[in-house]
């Protein structure tokens, strides 16, 4: 009906652009069916598959940080980076959206789209230019390099009380928490685990990218006990970019402590309004810029990664582990992180600067 009634038929140079909101299907087959149906009605340049995460200020900053700063270029590879975490945490449950959420679960709702898009920007090679197609070409290459997900590198959870929601089936197997390891089979990232973590009803609310570097060789300061260098991009709340690094503890002793180099947006850019993600993306639609939208082959590659795992969960072959609301999630998830090589820093807490 949109094509029939709203399509621009003017020969005066107008345009038609249609924004399609996620979820784009539930698995590879349904996504391909949806793409085929829409593709019969509209051409690919007219279709804007929107993922609001691509409109977030710090996500859009990712390409600039990686490709406009000399000191990241030689470090951004398997020789220096030990692991990458992409984390989404909420401190509340489904809250009235249980019916919708139970049909999709945390992997379809958050990981397969939002976090996977962030992974592409962290892992992609430098595009030929900033033209939308050049950027999207590189994102597709990353997705096509992801190896099949191993069951032993997945931990699923469901918070206690989730099934009490009247819109959720009593025997629901839907995960409200998932941690998994994705591995990229290419020259830059071979052997580096990309840890995707998302959950509801946890002990904090935040979304961030955490790039953890390898230990310093020949560590004369015995820094290992304090933790590794990390580059953290805080997407929400309190947008910030900070680097965890080891410095001399002030005083007479030659001892070390972890501190940070910090760019906190509220402090650095006072009086600057950061646009809402949808604001930015709708403006991009009007401008005809598809850089921050999902192309059809990109969507297909994303579903190819997750569909086998999702079907095993849907068939009851994998069960979520119960966890208490307000916790870090199942303890098995921390074990998976440790097994993947992530080293947690004890005693250091990043405190957002106050004005």
355, 266 contact by CB (below 8 A):
yes
> Do 119 and 142 contact (CB within 8 A), yes or no?
yes
What tokens appear for 32 in the block? 């391909």
Place of tokens 């966890």: 323
43: Cα within 13 Å, side-chain hemisphere: 5
CA-CA distance, 325 to 187, in Å (whole number)?
Answer: 41
Residue 193 dihedral angles phi and psi, to the nearest 5° = -75, 135
Contacts of 30 (CB under 8 A, 6+ apart): none
For the beta sheet containing 321-323, the strands, ordered from the edge strand earlier in sequence to the opposite edge, are 256-264, 240-248, 230-236, 206-213, 81-89, 193-199, 177-183, 154-159, 321-323
CB 306 within 8 A of CB 107: yes
How far is the C-alpha of 300 from the C-alpha of 247, rounded, in Å?
A: 46
Measured in degrees and rounded to the nearest 5, phi and psi for residue 259 equal: -140, -165
Residue 223 has what pLDDT? 66
Per-residue pLDDT of the chain (355 residues), as tens digits, is 888 888 877 777 788 899 999 889 999 999 999 999 999 999 999 999 999 999 999 999 999 999 999 999 999 999 999 999 999 999 998 887 888 899 999 999 999 999 999 999 999 999 999 999 999 999 999 999 999 999 999 999 999 999 998 889 989 999 999 999 999 999 999 999 999 999 999 999 999 999 999 988 888 877 666 778 999 999 988 889 999 988 888 888 888 888 888 988 888 888 888 899 999 999 999 999 999 999 999 999 999 999 999 999 999 999 999 999 999 999 999 999 999 999 887 777 888 777 6
Fold of 1-340: Dihydrodipicolinate Reductase; domain 2 (3.30.360)
Instruction: In whole angstroms, give the CA distance from residue 240 to residue 4.
Output: 46
Q: Output phi, psi for 292, to 5 deg.
A: -100, 30
Other Cβ atoms within 10 Å of 298 Cβ, number: 21
114 is catalytic: yes
CA-nearest of 188, 229, 209, 63 to 136 is 63
Q: Which residues pair with 156 in a beta bridge?
A: 178
With both helix axes pointing from N to C terminus, report the angle between 132-144 and 296-314 in degrees, rounded to the nearest 10. Answer: 30
User: Is-above-0.85 flag for pTM?
Assistant: yes
Q: Could you tell me the two tokens for 252?
A: 């007479």
Give the pLDDT confidence score for residue 162 in this predicted structure: 92
| pLDDT for the residue 83 | 96
CB-based contact 51:60 (threshold 8 Å): no
Q: Which of 114, 134, 292, 311 is labelled catalytic?
A: 114
The pLDDT, as a whole number, for residue 61 is: 92
Sequence spans of domains, the chain? 1-340
Contacts of 199 (CB under 8 A, 6+ apart): 88, 89, 90, 106, 157, 176, 177, 178, 329
């Amino acid at each position: 009906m949109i094509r029939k009634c709203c399509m621009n038929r003017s020969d005066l140079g107008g345009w038609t652009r249609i924004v399609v909101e996620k979820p784009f299907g539930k698995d590879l087959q349904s996504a391909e069916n949806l793409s085929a149906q829409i593709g019969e009605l509209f051409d690919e340049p007219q279709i804007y598959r929107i993922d609001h995460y691509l409109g977030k200020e710090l996500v859009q900053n990712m390409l600039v940080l990686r490709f406009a700063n000399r000191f990241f270029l030689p470090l951004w590879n398997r020789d220096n980076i030990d692991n990458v975490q992409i984390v989404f945490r909420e401190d509340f449950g489904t809250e009235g959206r249980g019916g919708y959420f139970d049909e999709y679960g945390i992997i379809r709702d958050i990981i397969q789209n939002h976090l996977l898009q962030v992974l592409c920007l962290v892992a992609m090679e430098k595009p030929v230019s900033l033209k939308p197609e050049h950027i999207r070409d590189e994102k597709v290459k990353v997705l096509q390099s992801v190896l099949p997900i191993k069951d032993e590198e997945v931990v699923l959870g469901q918070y206690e009380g989730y099934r009490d929601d009247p819109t959720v089936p009593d025997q629901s197997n839907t995960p409200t928490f998932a941690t998994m390891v994705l591995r990229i089979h290419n020259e830059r990232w071979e052997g580096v685990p990309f840890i995707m973590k998302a959950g509801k009803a946890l002990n904090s609310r935040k979304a961030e990218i955490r790039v953890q570097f390898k230990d310093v060789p020949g560590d004369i300061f015995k820094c290992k006990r304090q933790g590794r260098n990390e580059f953290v991009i805080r997407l929400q709340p309190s947008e910030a970019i900070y680097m965890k690094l080891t410095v001399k503890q002030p005083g007479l002793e030659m001892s070390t402590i972890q501190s940070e180099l910090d760019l906190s947006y509220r402090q650095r850019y006072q009086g600057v309004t950061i646009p809402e993600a949808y604001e930015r993306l709708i403006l991009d639609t009007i401008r005809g810029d598809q850089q921050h939208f999902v192309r059809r082959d990109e969507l297909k590659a994303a579903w190819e990664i997750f569909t086998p795992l999702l079907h095993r969960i849907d068939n009851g072959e994998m069960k979520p582990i119960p966890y208490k609301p307000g916790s870090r999630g199942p303890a098995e998830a921390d074990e998976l992180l440790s097994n993947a090589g992530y080293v947690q820093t004890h005693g250091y807490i990043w405190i957002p600067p106050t004005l």
